[in-house]
């Protein structure tokens, strides 16, 4: 069986999926065709139902619950790992008038920004890795940083306006769901469960053999230092990546409740997760 698998070239995803796609674990007869894209590009492919299994921003998932089911393994979810809103040190920030660079309309980062700053209406979409430069060059007044840019923005001369992860944790008192792994509802339940188990085994292999994936991580890390790669993985890959567990699933339901409260979505099916 061949399964299309979408994930980002970021260190956390490469760390998670290395053992799976390079057959360091037994994939039980499943061959994976890998599509590596920025998470917002993956969101867009999911809206077109072009992928069997994919990384997906949780905000995008809330729009696609009737098309995809959430796997219990592979998620990026935790504390102190949310997006950062930044600006140049010499500039002022007025959410009523500011033009803000975002990493995509359907990213969880933009969902959090919309809740924290409902008055902020002027947004431009950028590839996440271009946002620092857009702020520094003056193309935008502020930028919403995700992934490894949270480790580099101060060195570039930027300063934090708000940590939206802290904002969410103070609002909801739960870990923040950033991105999850979903499977198409067109796949039969047994296949969904098998893929979920394989992803879990891949994450567990990565934790047991942390250096095994580093060549693959480096290959896709785009001039990132080894130190930043390791920090990135440590921040976004944790016990929730092995299995969401009761705490992780509750955190996702809390975010879903908030999405319904702010009229982002209106109805959901009975099942969110692969059982």
For residue 55, what are the β-bridge partners? Answer: 181
Tell me how far apart the alpha carbons of residues 169 and 18 are, in angstroms, rounded to a whole number. 31
Q: Which of 147, 232, 253, 266 is catalytic?
A: 147
CA distance 262 to 202: 36
Number of H helices, E strands in the chain: 11, 11
Which ranges constitute the DSSP H helices of the chain? 11-21, 39-47, 58-63, 108-116, 131-137, 164-172, 189-208, 214-220, 226-236, 239-242, 245-261
209 included as an active-site residue: no
CA distance readout (Å), 208 to 35, 60, 105, 267: 26, 32, 36, 40
Residue 274's closest CA among 224, 199, 219?
199
Contact 228, 148 (CB under 8 A): yes
Cite the active site residues. 147
């Amino acid at each position: 069986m061949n399964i299309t698998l979408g994930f980002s070239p970021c260190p956390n995803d490469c760390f998670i999926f290395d053992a799976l796609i390079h057959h360091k674990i037994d994939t039980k007869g499943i061959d994976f065709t890998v599509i590596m894209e920025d998470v917002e590009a993956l969101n867009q492919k999911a809206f077109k139902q072009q992928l069997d299994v994919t990384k997906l921003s949780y905000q995008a998932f809330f729009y696609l619950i009737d098309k995809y089911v959430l796997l219990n393994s592979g998620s990026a979810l935790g504390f102190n790992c949310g997006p950062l809103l930044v600006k140049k040190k010499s500039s002022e920030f007025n959410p009523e008038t500011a033009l803000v660079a975002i990493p995509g309309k359907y990213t969880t980062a933009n969902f959090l920004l919309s809740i924290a700053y409902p008055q902020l209406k002027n947004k431009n979409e950028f590839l996440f890795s271009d946002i620092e430069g857009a702020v520094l060059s003056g193309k935008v007044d502020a930028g919403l940083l995700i992934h490894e840019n949270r480790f580099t923005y101060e060195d570039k001369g930027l300063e934090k306006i708000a940590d939206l992860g802290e904002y969410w944790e103070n609002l909801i008192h739960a870990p923040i769901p950033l991105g999850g792994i979903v499977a198409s509802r067109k796949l039969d339940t047994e296949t969904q469960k098998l893929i979920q188990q394989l992803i879990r085994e891949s994450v567990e292999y990565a934790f047991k053999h942390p250096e095994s994936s580093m060549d693959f991580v480096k290959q896709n890390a785009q001039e990132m230092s080894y130190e930043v790669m390791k920090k990135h993985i440590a921040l976004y890959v944790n016990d929730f990546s092995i299995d969401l567990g009761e705490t992780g699933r509750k955190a996702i339901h809390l975010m879903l409740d908030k999405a319904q409260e702010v009229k982002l979505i209106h109805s959901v099916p009975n099942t969110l997760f692969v059982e």
